[in-house]
Structure 1
Amino acid sequence: METIERWTPPQLWRHAEPGWLNTASYGLPPDPAWDAMRAAQDDWRAGRTSWEAWGSATDRARESFARLIGVDAADVAVGAQVTQLLAPVAAAMPDGASVLVPSIEFTSNVFPWAVHADRGVTVHTAPTTNFLAAISPGIDVVAFSLVQSADGTLADLRAISEAAREVGAMVVVDATQACGWLPFDGSLADMVVVGAYKWLMAPRGTGFAYLAPHVRDRFRPIMAGWYAGDDPHGAYYGLPLRLAKDARAFDLSPAWGAWAGTEPALAVIEQIGVERIHAHNLALANRFLAGLGREPGSSAIVTVDVPGAEQRLAAAGIRAAVRAGRVRASFHIYTTESDVDAAVEALVD
């Protein structure tokens, strides 16, 4: 296997301690991201600069994200969290709309729809194994995670999108657990939302939403503020309403320090390349599975049911997560073969 260490500068994660197998909870920042965020905080503390440079970092991060998923930057809005980015879309659904989600979908892509039950919006669920068959006439929105948080299950974006189009349903994808390691074409969906603090390794509090032009006019930018203006620097005060004509109308005013760290984190992803990261992550995940006598998989997130696994891993200094009663391990750029082998050794009797 061509390991990422051979072509990634080692100083990118100088402070990462061995044994982090929990990127599905949060990613470890590469040093350029950490340093940029700290520099912004130092400048803020000292009052030595204005904020415009931090705003420019937000724009560069938007452009980087657009390249990563193959869409136009003009169709990307920036925000803070997945639920905040989904809220305007859920609010735009007509009374009585039907939404289909996987039965194990993370609640950030369930609750925004479910809170509209009082006006007749109904959320239906289907298991991931039978999700495609559940897309039927009468469904208005098909909302799903490209990679499931609970167990790493991958969804077939193209097949689901095609099935949804056949019944006239809108396709909403939460790619938080995919973007940064799994190559995919964001333009296959009507909306793609991503929290950047996991596989994109950004500070918590930044996120992106791709909003396809052909559906965007159906949504009201209910959190519009000065940053959503056609010319933000000319939208500080008063009427008339003058929103951006593209997805920036859905922008949330950026948390500057977090965005200062987000832009270089995405730059690292682009520098290395998602295809390479995918190959690296998958090879390590399957090395882990093979060590436990399991069949190989197709995800950088795997779950195993080993008695006492959580305690065994903790005793060996391996940090993983427990989801639905099973140990969940996730493998990313900074994960090494040594990390994997230590985890296997801790779990094998």
Structure 2
Amino acid sequence: MEAVEFAELWNPEPGWLNTASYGLPPRPAWEALQAALSDWRVGATSWEPWDESTTRSRESFARLIGADAADVFVGSTVSAALAPVATALPDGAKVLTDDVEFTSNVFPWMAHADRGVEVAGVPGEELVAAIRPGIDLVAVSAVQSSTGAVLDLAAVVAASKEIGALVVIDASQALGWLPLTVDGIDVLVAHTYKWLMSPRGATLGYLSPRLQELCRPSAAGWYAAADVHSSYYGTRMELADGARRFDQSPAWFCFVGAAPALELVEQIGVETINRHNLDLANEFRAGLGMPPSNSAIVSTTLAGAQEAFAAAGIRAAVRDGKLRASFHVYTTRADVHQALAALKPLL
């Protein structure tokens, strides 16, 4: 099966090379969201049918990362999802990260500086070597937002296990095109509005059983209860077993769009999407005279590229002073050729 067999499920305007900023919804996700909005407009249903999408999203996410759904929690943002883990760190803990790590996986740790938690950032190529005794937690992205660099996850896990450090992975720029599992990982969190092509506001995360015992569900509300329907009022608290006690009350419509999008990624297959994305990204890289890479994100310094793309109707991004183009399942070779044609006068 090839990704192009599913191309008719999207309607991108030519030149969209910016999935690393946000993904485009497949038709099943778009239609499910429109139906829910129509029901909301007239009060056609209660909220429970919308919430079924939260369960579907949780289960699909678990399958995508090789986890048990009981160890998956739902939320709205990566930083909020990491907050209970940061709170569980002991005073004086040492956190190691990449020096270009997206701040949603940096600020939650730095917010505890008042109790001695220290955060050190090193260049990505030095990260594994820097995982030495004294580091309590390694917080890093599976794929870096600014550079597109793909983490050597196996090496990070191995080095962290050797010293007993926790491993926290932000998979927001990876999940949906890069095959991942949670083997050896303590926390894996991903916002779904990028490569999982869902509405912004649906975040999912894996929390290992040992961390579930260490962390306090400090944001617990009615949705984290064992029985959500009997937890609306009063002072009796009985939280759910497993990671669900770390659930934040879901933004229903975001999950209505997320469930069919995640399930479609499963149907197509992450390996298929990976092959499609890398073929196009490497064709683009070759056209710029760059060597091939293992990333669906291409980051390059090319004077005038942003203006050339804008003039040609190519939508990409500039991050950390570099042009960033990203290629996903709905990207075509015509998009690649259009982008290269726009940049050709600059080469």
Question: TM-score, structure 1 length as denominator?
Answer: 0.97
What does residue 82 of structure 2 align with? 86
Q: In the alignment, which of 223, 228, 233 is matched to residue 232 of structure 1?
A: 228
The alpha carbon displacement at 1:3 in A equals 5.6
Contact 1:176 1:194 in 2 (8 A): yes
In the alignment, the residues of structure 2 paired with residue 268 and residue 316 of structure 1 have an alpha-carbon distance, to the nearest angstrom, of 31
Contact 1:25 1:198 in 2 (8 A): yes
What does residue 13 of structure 2 align with? 17
In the alignment, the residues of structure 2 paired with residue 324 and residue 236 of structure 1 have an alpha-carbon distance, to the nearest angstrom, of 46
- Aligned amino acid, residue 250 of structure 2: P
- Aligned amino acid, residue 155 of structure 1: L
Contact 1:96 1:119 in 2 (8 A): yes
Contact 1:164 1:170 in 2 (8 A): yes
Contact 1:187 1:212 in 2 (8 A): no
Between the two proteins, the alignment pairs up a number of residues equal to: 345
- Cα 1:9–1:282, aligned 2, differ >3 Å: closer, same or farther? closer
Contact 1:105 1:144 in 2 (8 A): yes
Matched, 1:28 2:38: no
In the alignment, the residues of structure 1 paired with residue 122 and residue 68 of structure 2 have an alpha-carbon distance, to the nearest angstrom, of 32
In the alignment, the residues of structure 1 paired with residue 98 and residue 301 of structure 2 have an alpha-carbon distance, to the nearest angstrom, of 22
What does residue 8 of structure 1 align with? 6
- Aligned amino acid, residue 288 of structure 1: F
Within 5 Å, which residues of 2 pair with 1:179-194? 179-194=175-190
The alpha carbon displacement at 1:196 in A equals 0.6
What does residue 70 of structure 1 align with? 66
What does residue 348 of structure 1 align with? 344
- Aligned amino acid, residue 38 of structure 1: Q
In the alignment, the residues of structure 2 paired with residue 188 and residue 24 of structure 1 have an alpha-carbon distance, to the nearest angstrom, of 26
Matched, 1:139 2:131: no
In the alignment, the residues of structure 2 paired with residue 148 and residue 9 of structure 1 have an alpha-carbon distance, to the nearest angstrom, of 27
- Aligned amino acid, residue 177 of structure 1: Q
5+ residue gaps in structure 2?
none
Matched, 1:97 2:93: yes
What does residue 38 of structure 1 align with? 34
Contact 2:64 2:266 in 1 (8 A): yes
- Cα 1:187–1:237, aligned 2, differ >3 Å: closer, same or farther? farther
For each residue in 1:133-159, what CA deviation from the matched residue of structure 2 results, as whole angstroms up to 9, or x when unmatched?
A: 000111111000000000100111111
The alpha carbon displacement at 1:345 in A equals 0.8
In the alignment, the residues of structure 2 paired with residue 128 and residue 92 of structure 1 have an alpha-carbon distance, to the nearest angstrom, of 26
- Aligned amino acid, residue 133 of structure 2: P
For each residue in 1:283-315, what CA deviation from the matched residue of structure 2 results, as whole angstroms up to 9, or x when unmatched?
A: 000000011111111100011221100000111
The alpha carbon displacement at 1:9 in A equals 5.0
In the alignment, the residues of structure 2 paired with residue 64 and residue 93 of structure 1 have an alpha-carbon distance, to the nearest angstrom, of 30
Contact 2:170 2:189 in 1 (8 A): yes
Match of 1:105, SS state, is coil
Q: Which runs of at least 4 in structure 1 moved beyond 4 Å after TM superposition?
A: none
Contact 1:292 1:344 in 2 (8 A): yes
Matched, 1:286 2:287: no
The alpha carbon displacement at 1:240 in A equals 2.2
In the alignment, the residues of structure 1 paired with residue 200 and residue 117 of structure 2 have an alpha-carbon distance, to the nearest angstrom, of 30
What does residue 60 of structure 1 align with? 56
Q: In the alignment, which of 102, 105, 108 is matched to residue 106 of structure 1?
A: 102
Match of 2:143, SS state, is coil
5+ residue gaps in structure 1?
none
What does residue 123 of structure 1 align with? 119
Contact 2:186 2:208 in 1 (8 A): yes
Match of 1:217, SS state, is helix
Contact 1:302 1:329 in 2 (8 A): yes
Match of 1:238, SS state, is coil
The alpha carbon displacement at 1:17 in A equals 0.5
The alpha carbon displacement at 1:234 in A equals 2.0
What does residue 316 of structure 2 align with? 320
In the alignment, the residues of structure 2 paired with residue 315 and residue 342 of structure 1 have an alpha-carbon distance, to the nearest angstrom, of 12
- Aligned amino acid, residue 42 of structure 1: S
Q: In the alignment, which of 290, 298, 304 is matched to residue 300 of structure 2?
A: 304
Match of 1:280, SS state, is helix
Match of 1:254, SS state, is coil
The alpha carbon displacement at 1:37 in A equals 1.1
Question: TM-score, structure 2 length as denominator?
Answer: 0.98
What does residue 334 of structure 1 align with? 330
In the alignment, the residues of structure 2 paired with residue 56 and residue 252 of structure 1 have an alpha-carbon distance, to the nearest angstrom, of 15
Match of 1:27, SS state, is coil
For each residue in 1:248-294, what CA deviation from the matched residue of structure 2 results, as whole angstroms up to 9, or x when unmatched?
A: 00001111111111101111101100000000000000000011111
- Aligned amino acid, residue 271 of structure 1: Q
